[in-house]
Amino acid sequence: MLSEVLLVSAPGKVILHGEHAVVHGKVALAVALNLRTFLRLQPHSSGKVDLTLPNIGIKRAWDVARLQLLDTSFLEQGDVTAPTPEQVEKLKEVAGLPDDCAVTERLAVLAFLYLYLSIFRKQRWTKEDLELINKWAFQGERVIHGNPSGVDNAVSTWGGALRYQQGKISSLKRPPALQILLTNTKVPRSTKALVAGVRNRLLKFPEIVAPLLTSIDAISLECERVLGEMGEAPALEQYVVLEELIDMNQHHLNALGVGHISLDQLCQVTRAHGLHSKLTGAGGGGCGITLLKPGLEQPEVEATKQALTSCGFDCWETSIGAPGVSIHSATSLDSRVRQALDGL
């Protein structure tokens, strides 16, 4: 049982290189993004379990006594179990969400309830056990995504940078912390449709698209090599190579048909400020990343951010290669984070 407030955070994730090619057996590089999700666990004596997720407008509560009456025998079938469709339907009944509930809200609540019932009932939670955290985080991903790759939960657990190929995940040793801009074009897209589009293009033009995928694979491998050489004392020449790789990958992704006019605009705006950008993730809108070289003056960074926001985009200055899941004392948190948590 918790006897005091526990503060935990985990990083976000972006794909550095290898989007779409990874679906066809090529290498992808994923990096931990230092835009973190914070969790506060606080005991109280109301007899309820309260869940508050302010960023997506969720505030729910359940009676502990009612949760304890649920049939949770399926939790005893192994170490870390995946939810079946029948179990997800039972969780929907417990959640008590309205029919018009947004998909993001519904999935977040279901993932929380599944993990809460599984972990706290079995009393297996140990903050030191990263392997167990990663396994349970993967099960939460399965509630939300159905058949996830395992990259998102692995990056959030371990941090740094990971190499992913055909289901095998390995950590890059001592990746440098690179400063970037993360820009959300706010253009919605369907990952499923974009992946299908690349597959159709490969079937239609195999002698053209297959070499593109092989070339993207080579870009990922070259980036992995450069990051390994940068260590803690990166040279300016290595940043130039990273910029060239970003440009080449972006052109390849456009050739695969997963670009978008909003992403072209993002690249044009940052190029006007001497910076290099590419899409990250599925493409077709969504987000892009921009590499910030050392020595770049802050007024120039701010001018770039302002130019991007003037396009209607959201933009954050952050870093990649961030630490994984972490425990914090309240005094170690940024004042804005403390204020947000205190307002829950």
Same domain, 11 and 152: yes
Quick check: is 1 in a domain? no
Which segment of 40-49, 232-241, 267-276 scores lowest on mean pLDDT? 40-49
Same domain, 231 and 275: yes
pTM listed for this prediction: 0.77
Q: Domain count of the chain?
A: 2
More confident residue, 300 or 83: 300
Same domain, 329 and 315: no
Tell me, what's the pLDDT at 227? 94
120 burial type by CB count under 10 A (0-12 exposed, 13-18 middle, 19+ buried): middle
Q: What is the pLDDT of residues 143-163, one digit of tens each?
A: 776 677 788 888 988 889 999
Which residues form the domain of 245?
A: 178-320
Same domain, 191 and 247: yes
Quick check: is 133 in a domain? yes
Same domain, 47 and 169: yes
Which segment of 29-38, 124-133, 263-272, 295-304 scores lowest on mean pLDDT? 124-133
Same domain, 183 and 196: yes
Same domain, 12 and 100: yes
Residues 8, 326 contacting (CB under 8 angstroms): yes
Quick check: is 253 in a domain? yes
Strands 161-165 and 326-328: unpaired
pLDDT band for position 3 (cuts 50, 70, 90): very low
Same domain, 253 and 290: yes
In this model, does residue 324 exceed pLDDT 80? yes
Query: Can 247 be counted among the known catalytic residues?
Result: no
Query: Can you give the CATH number for the domain in which 60 is found?
Result: 3.30.230.10
Same domain, 149 and 229: no
pLDDT band for position 119 (cuts 50, 70, 90): low
Same domain, 162 and 190: no
* Token digits of residue 108: 């977040």
Same domain, 131 and 160: yes
Query: Can you give the CATH number for the domain in which 216 is found?
Result: 3.30.70.890
Quick check: is 304 in a domain? yes
Dist. CA 247–CA 238, nearest whole Å = 14
Quick check: is 130 in a domain? yes
Rounded to the nearest integer, the mean pLDDT of the chain is: 85
Q: How many CA atoms lie within 13 A of 295 on its CB side?
A: 5
Quick check: is 137 in a domain? yes
- The single residue of 79, 100, 152, 247 carrying the catalytic annotation is 152
Same domain, 288 and 245: yes
Beta-bridge mates of residue 157: none
Q: What is the pLDDT of residues 219-253, one digit of tens each?
A: 999 999 999 999 767 899 999 999 999 999 999 99
In this model, does residue 122 exceed pLDDT 60? no
Q: What mean pLDDT is predicted for residues 186-203?
A: 93
